[in-house]
Amino acid sequence: MNGHLARPLAARLNGLSALPLLPDNAAPVPAHVIDAAKAALDRGETHYTDRAGVPVLRALVAARIEKQCGVQIDPKAITITCGLAEARSVAVRVLTKPGTAILCPQGFAEVAGVAHLIGAEMITQLDQPVSLAYLTPADPPEIMQAAIASGAAIVWDLTHSGPAAHPALDPAIAPRVTTIDSLDAQFPGWRIGWLAGSEMADRLRGFKQSLTICTTSVSQWAAVEWLQKQ
C-alpha cells in the first residue's frame, strides 16, 4: 500500500506532538490478580459490560476515593475508562469547549493534546479566564484557589499526590468537581482508569460510551481483585 492518502489529513493533526508515555517499570502482576482475571474469563465475562463499568468495580472506586480523600461519591456517578488517557480525554472534551483556555499547572500531555484537537488552549499559569481547571493535589495553592474561585469546571487528578485537600469536600463546589485516577502505575497494560462524580457524570459516561462503548471486561475484573485486596 502506498504511504500517503489521496487527500490531505485533517489540519488539526498539525502541531499534535505531545505523546504521553506509560510507565514501563511496573511490577509483575500478582498471581491472585491473574487468577481472578482467568476466573472471570472462565465464567464468561467476555461480553460488553455496563457502559459505565461493572457495578462492583464502581463501588470499590467510590470506597477508595472516600478512604483516600474523604469525599463520598455515588458509584452511579463513576465511569470506568480505558486507562488514564481515556479519563483525561473524555474529561477535557466534555468539560470544556473550543476557543477556551484550560488551566493545567502540570502540563499533562493528554490535556495539551486533546485541547489542541478541539481547538482549545492549555495554559499552566492562571493569566486569563479558563473554562476548566485541571488540577492535582500537588499544584501551587495560590493557583489552585484562584482557579476554584473562578467558577470553572474542575478536574481533580489523583495520579499526582500532594498536600491539598479535595475541593469536593466543600459541598458548594462538589457539583463541578470530577475526580480522575487510574491503575496505570500498577497495571499500565490493563488500561483501567475512572471518572468520578460531578453534575456532569451522565455526560461523561455518555461520551465514554460513544468512544469505546465500555472498558475491557477482563481488565475490570482484574482491577476488582486488586482493589479488594488493598
Q: Least Å distance between CB 173 and another protein?
A: 28
Q: Please list, in sequence order, all residues whose beta carbon lies within 8 angstroms of the beta carbon of residue 150, skipping any fewer than 6 positions away.
A: 126, 129, 130, 133
Per residue in 144-183, is it b (16+ CB within 10 Å) or e — as a string?
Answer: beebbeeebbbbbbbbeeeebebbbeeeeebebbbbbbbb
* 109 touching another protein, by CB under 8 A: yes
Q: Concatenated DSSP letters for 50-62?
A: -TT--HHHHHHHH
Q: Which of residues 42-71 bind another protein (CB under 8 A)?
A: 42, 44-49, 51
**By rule CB under 8 A, what string of x and - marks binding of each residue 169-208 to another protein?**
------------------xxxxx--------------x--
Query: Residues 57, 69, 78, 113: which binds another protein (CB under 8 A)?
Result: 113
Computed on alpha carbons and rounded to an integer, the radius of gyration of the chain in Å comes to 18
* 123 touching another protein, by CB under 8 A: no
Contact footprint for another protein (CB under 8 A): 1-7, 9-13, 16-20, 22, 24, 26, 28-29, 34, 37-38, 41-42, 44-49, 51, 81-86, 88-89, 93, 109-110, 112-114, 117, 187-191, 206, 209-219
